[in-house]
Amino acid sequence: MTLFFIIWIILLVIGMPITFAIICACLIYMFQHGGIMLCAQRLVAGVDSYTLLAVPFFIFSGNLMNATGITDRIFTFAKTCVGHIPGGLGHVNVLASLLFSGMSGSAHADAGGLGQIEIQAMREEGFDDGFSGAITAASSVVGPLMPPSIPLVIYGAIASVSVGKLFLGGVFPAILVSISLMIYVYFYAKKRHYKTYPKSTFSERWNAFVKAFPALLTPIIIIGGIFSGIFTPTEAAAVTSFYALILGIFVYKTFSLSVMRKVLKDTLSNAAVIGFLTAAISLMGYVLAREQIPQKIAMFFLRYTSNPIVFLLAVDLLLVILGCVIETMAIQLLVIPMLVPVAIALGIDPVHFGVVVTMNMMIGILTPPMGVLLFVVSKISGIPFKTLAKSILPMFIPLTIVLLLLIFFPQIVMFLPNLMR
């Protein structure tokens, strides 16, 4: 097993993509220990999942809503709601991310879609680049918490947990993250004397709401359909994609063949990366199970603590450290499956554990030097990565407070899922 990890690390160091590095290391291990004929079977079995079918559909719907201008309407509606509060466009940024998260399920889609609109508007109103880019990145972490969340779908598949319950469990944490960031924006803006907008009239708010209303129905359709039992989370993903298509063609009339070509290309590219990595992790999971690595990790944790809170805090620290150097998707597929059995053994509900680690991983994608979301925001805005890395640091305070609340008060996560019983 030592040779397996040495080969894997060497391949990563020389620059081989993580997926290929995993597959190569596994092939060498299986050739050495027997069972090479099982490799293809394990790779296919890794993606042969009904639940995982939801991932490309949610990616498609998020990309389609980005491409058809729905983000503009969401941003305008958010501006009429909170643009007059001290912090102005900072609050608009956070609220727009919360609203759009109910359609995309992805932090990257949020930052890449809404981010350009938000940062440009904040620049025009005199907000400094560091703050504008940092709050855009920080507010994007709401996407993977609010349904339809792609990370929660993947967690549900690898941990055999109800995706419907995970979706419901992420609602209150997403709202708490938004509130905590808006509190931070309020005090930061007060200190910097940033500009606010005049309070919108009822007529202005109503007009903005009417234009955004069809898009705002998306999370209601998803949650309502799952909660009422009309469709499964995977079916909800297909319904969401169809609904986004209807909005683009018949409601907003911004759909075209060139838009569809770009959306399909982006969707296939992103879905292929996730699918290929999932297949590779399935093969690696077989190797680790053969060597009883999950059991050894469980024994390690249980030897030092039987306290669920201490375990969750230790896992959070581990994920923060890993998040500094490893891409979040790799962490979710490599590390989380080995920790779920330990959490269950300690009496932690797997739905609660899933939402907590997802929140933790979202903090990880903001953490330098990896900080994937910071790179995304830097690319779309031209703001130097160093500036973003410095400006994001104070925003870890409200995010960490929310994370600790989720750990110490599981009811925040479990209230809605428990209603499904």
Query: Please, what is the Cα angle at 4 between 2 and 6, to 5 degrees?
Result: 70
Residue with tokens 């981010």, as numbered in its chain: 115
- pLDDT, tens only, 67-86: 777 777 888 888 888 888 88
Least confident of 42-56, 250-264, 341-355: 42-56
Of residues 239 and 8, more confidently modeled: 239
How confident is residue 355, by pLDDT bands cut at 50, 70 and 90?
A: very high
Query: Please, what is the Cα angle at 354 between 319 and 233, to 5 degrees?
Result: 135
What is the helix, strand, coil percentage profile of the chain, to 5? 80, 0, 20
Q: What is the pLDDT of residue 79?
A: 87
Q: Which amino acid is at 238?
A: A
Q: What is the pLDDT of residue 381?
A: 82
Q: What is the pLDDT of residue 175?
A: 94
Phi, psi of 306 (to 5 degrees): -120, 10
Share of the chain above pLDDT 70, in %: 97
How confident is residue 113, by pLDDT bands cut at 50, 70 and 90?
A: low
Whether the per-residue pLDDT at 412 is higher than 90: the answer is yes
* Cis ω before 369 (30° cut-off from 0): yes
Q: Mean pLDDT over residues 183-189, rounded?
A: 91
Q: How many Cβ atoms from other residues are within 10 Å of residue 253's Cβ?
A: 11
Q: Which of 15-24, 110-119, 291-300, 370-379 has the highest mean pLDDT?
A: 15-24
Share of the chain above pLDDT 90, in %: 17
Q: Mean pLDDT over residues 179-197, rounded?
A: 87
Q: Where are the domains of the chain?
A: 35-418
Q: Are 76 and 208 in contact (CB under 8 A)?
A: yes
* Cis ω before 233 (30° cut-off from 0): no
Whether the per-residue pLDDT at 325 is higher than 70: the answer is no
Of 57, 231, 51, give the one whose Cα is nearest residue 155. 51
Q: What is the pLDDT of residue 402?
A: 95
How confident is residue 421, by pLDDT bands cut at 50, 70 and 90?
A: low
How confident is residue 354, by pLDDT bands cut at 50, 70 and 90?
A: very high
Of residues 324 and 224, more confidently modeled: 224
- The model's pTM: 0.81
Q: What is the pLDDT of residue 194?
A: 78
Three-class secondary structure of residue 333 per DSSP: helix
- pLDDT, tens only, 90-108: 888 898 888 877 776 677 7
